[in-house]
Structure 1
Amino acid sequence: MTLCEENFRTLAENSAHGWLIHEAQSKRILWANKKACEAFKYTIEELQALKAHHMSSQDSNYRREMGIAWLQTAVVSGHNRRIWKYQDKNGVDFLTEAFATLVDLKGTGPVLLVEFRILRDSDAMPTPPKWMEDTLDKIMTHTSSGIMLLNKENRVEDASPLAANLFGYSVPDILNKHVAELAVPDVDLEAERVKAELMKPEGTVDIRFKVSNKFGVLRWLAGTLDNIVDEGSLLRVLTVRDISGKVEWEKRNAYQEVNLQYLSRYNAMGDMAMILAHDLGQPLAAATNYLGGVSKRLAETTSEGRGITYGIEQAKKQLQRASDIVNSVKRYVRRIESTTSVFDLREAVEESLYFARLRAEEKGVVIVSDFHPDKLMVKGESVLIGQVIINICMNALDEIALPSTEEKTMVLKTERDEKKASILVSDQGRGMKEMPADLLAAGAFSSKEDGSGIGLIISEHIAQRHGGHITYEPNYPQGTTVRITLPLVD
């Protein structure tokens, strides 16, 4: 069932809340429902002509700049809520609890839907200023983003309690301070590139802050500094939120990637050592035999013959020494103990997907996952299996991110077939129709300009060591599906 415009208006007009629809960029009012018009005592046409300071309380806590900053926070984060005091046509203030949500309307573009309900229980409240202040603090404390108003020199003119608290201060303590005095930004606000961006009427800069309290505990904040033009004047709004948890995950991700690269090199080193030990052992033994035969045929009666024999014997000793080294490498590689365990394949996939989603977010790719409902228990090294999954996912994401790939979606599925489990990674990129699967498995192929294919061969070796294999299949309607198959354990 679809809702036509008439039905939508019927729903809006019968809502118990007032609705104000603002244009996301300019913040001007586009539409209001009946409840909002009754609250403000204006018609829709009159509301459309109003500016923020015409319909907000003259109380300093509800200045025009704070109202615009609050709406801009919703533009940045997608939603916001707070206590706000409006003023009707007769100059009477009314207190509301307002919710702002960013909505992308087809044919109109992004707008802000502000829903508000009037708080009328004033008789049961403490004195209005105290009640309003406590309630505002409580709501802002539970809101994910704090807001700060900065002047053109990036000094704080006003801030929400949450924003000040995120920096470890109270609101009075941070007024007139340069934002760089409150924390360490990862962007030089005095750099020419940043200044040029902030000179634009609607310039925006993303910043990360490292905040350290008196106990040495670090906190990381993500901030968005926006310029907003309102009635010819320029406002600078900084929206901040705590991302300490995300940064810790990124640190763990970086550590995991370094560790996985080490394990991959370690694994490849073992493979190459085995190849050296196997392939060099035979020619070394053959060379020793040939030298032995030559030494028997040489006459030892002359001094020249004895000199040649001595040289051959020394060569044989060096060859024997090389053979001993190769054999010792072979024994060492065979003694390496693998830290194997039985684990649920889904856990390894989900952990790997976290890192893949970080890359996907950067590249604008959506990851769709479809997991088998049962546990898929496999035996092996979960870190190495995770390395295979990440490697395959990263290759797919790089392919999807290409301008020639229209469908910016990667699909990851897990399946079960009797005693085998499979992980399928699919994209709708260029595909691999011209490259035989055996060359892919041998690491002889890479679609990247500077690629060597070593990631594929390492992944294949890891899968083989776990009793599995990797296959490359065409995806429908186009692209590639990489299937990682591993044996299940009881």
Structure 2
Amino acid sequence: MAGPVVSLLLFLGAIGVALMYFTREDAAREREAMVRDTEYAQQRLRLRLLERQEQTMRLARDIANRTVEETAFVAQAENLVLQHPELTALYWVDAYREVVTGYGVPTLNRSTRRAGERLAPGLGGGVIELARDLHQPMYSKPQRSSDGGWVLLLAVPFENQRRFGGVVLAELALDALLRYGVPPELLARYTVTLVDDSDRVLAGDPLPPRPHGVWPLLPWGAQPQSHALALSPVGNSVLVRLHAVRGERDRTAEALFWLVGAMSAATLWMLVANLRHTRRRLQAQRALLAETNFRRAMENSMLTGMRALDMQGRITYVNRAFCDMTGWSEEELIGTTAPFPYWPETEHEQLMARLHDEISGRNTPGGFEVPVKRKNGSIFYARMYVSPLIDPQGRQTGWMTSMTDITEPRRIREELTASYDRFATVLDSLDEAISVAPLHSHELLFANRMYRNWFGDGSAGHERLLELCAAVPVLPAQDVNDHVDHLVGLPADVLVEAVAEHAQIHVPELGKWLELRTRYLTWVDGRLVQMLIATDITARRLAEEQAQLQAERAATASRLITMGEMASSVAHELNQPLTAISNYANGLISRLRSGRADPEDMLVALEKTARQAQRAGSIIQRIRAFVKKSEPQLTLADVGQIVANAVELATIELKRHLVRLNVYQAERLPALMVDPILIEQVLINLLKNAGESIQCAQRPPGQRQVELTITPRRLDERAGIEFVVRDNGCGIPPEQLERIYDAFYSTKADGMGIGLKLCRSIIESHHGRLQARNLYNGSVVAGCEFSVWLPAAAASAPDADTRGALTLPTLG
């Protein structure tokens, strides 16, 4: 029966292949013709654009040669606009993007540009700027006009005394360019459109919708072809696309196709009906043989040994699995009575009593374990289940016994018991206290030796640890109003996979600091339990407190060192207001003694004396606060005030090196949640290093300058502020750039090596970043740039348990 079916399928395949081949040949020919027509249409549009470009360039040359004035330009522009429909406007634009004069097509929905109007920067994607920079005509990307159509802007630059004098700006309507530039014979055969690089229709009719259903799958229902080319000289922003207009379907070919398909389907249906009839007859023949072999095959394929006993205890049936387990054949077992050959000699009495219980009906529902001897003499353990054997008439004719080899499960159970003993021994030898208890229960499921040494055998210690842990926030604060557990509603398997929570608590009863880790587990009985692991961290806690104290002392020492280095400059800075106060006072004394004291002049002199005294006092107060500050405190600080305070102190040192400081600060900067004195310390250190680097490079006095730039910047999706200190000094040796943050490492001969290390520690403690890089002029190092990024107050607000205190890393 397979021969006719295969022949019919081959016949249908040959027809389908031939139909697809001829259809593809027609499509290829249509494709080639469309490519040629698209190139022809693109060439015609290109020539028309080049003609308008040449006319616009001629006007630009006349303006550059001063052979045309504004009135003549308007006349020529009006003549060109009226002659060429695609040219809708011509404007004379000067170097400052102001319209000198021009002419545009006056329509109802279109507005023209007036003389003196300033064009917006970046008009048409910056076409005027591109024409000015490249000194050649430039086309813009398609733009929406006031009447809703799409236009191109052509900017032709001209020079005025060898300088950029402006552009002649031409506005080309794409709809008119398509209508008058494409030959009518192409418009009759194709749907011609101008589209942009995102396939948006700029001019022409939109494409017809694609047909749905089965028609696109048939040869006469294939999709019409289309081809597109970039419109030169505009570029890829405007494409000329031709779309073939599909004619009516070939009804004759369609009818023949369906006729051949119907005849083939009828033939195939008859062959399949005959095949089904033959198959049903063969199935009926096989049913009897399958029914007779089914039960025997099922019995032989079972892995469980089956044994049947009659009412007197004689074996009447065993399956293949029972024989494979014991090693005795079916002929050797059927008909035998107790003691059976697979009974071990040492177990005859116990097995005989068990057999008597079986025959008497005293069976254990869960089965029982018995040793079984193989024919080769080896022993294995099996579990047996006994049930009455009932015949089709409902009478009991014996007992059915199933036997399963449990040697491997028994071995695994023994290994698990030994493994548990080893596991308990390992846990008892740990230095951590481990306890497991159900949720909301006083039952203690497990506790190792360290837990029992600390808290005893009861669950009081477990509950005490949970009570102390509840007073310490473990998870970050959430901006929600519902105070619920973050694991509420999750299934048990998700709770088991949850990340362990950590907390550091102090246990007064033990006099120890413990690091407590909690985790949810599914216990062996399926209950959800909580495991606590407590580690003694008293020594580490003391070390951290000593490290924090060391960092605070290092910060104070750095400020004292900085002020010691600036002592002479500070004295010089204070000398100016003190000298001015002395001069004003001596002048007043002289006038009073000579009797030439004018109240107005004395008032002015006293006001100046007061200002100089305030200046000297502010310098002393700033230095005193800078040196005295020791305990870091986070406050909501204003960036401008921080910069002003740092610049006031750093300028004293920079003036000593004849370095000019330029500060560029953006407006409306967000506030920072920082310690202002520490941030001022970082900025002063960076500015002082910049001045010393310029002094090291021996720059001339006119070239000694340091720039401090403060701008907002986003980093890792977080808002923040970036401080950039840029100098033109000797820079940092490239091989030492990675080590400048190491403690006690310095690139200066007299440096201590703690300045940049302390600066980086301060910035990182505020969750910020400090980076350094060299500035190059070619291959020569021309300076250095340090950038400090700090998160804004909204993004850097500390948690509730750390607000108001800041921990600095150690220098080691």
Q: TM-score range by the shorter chain?
A: 0.3 to 0.5
TM-score (norm 2): 0.24
Who wins on radius of gyration, i.e. which is larger? 2
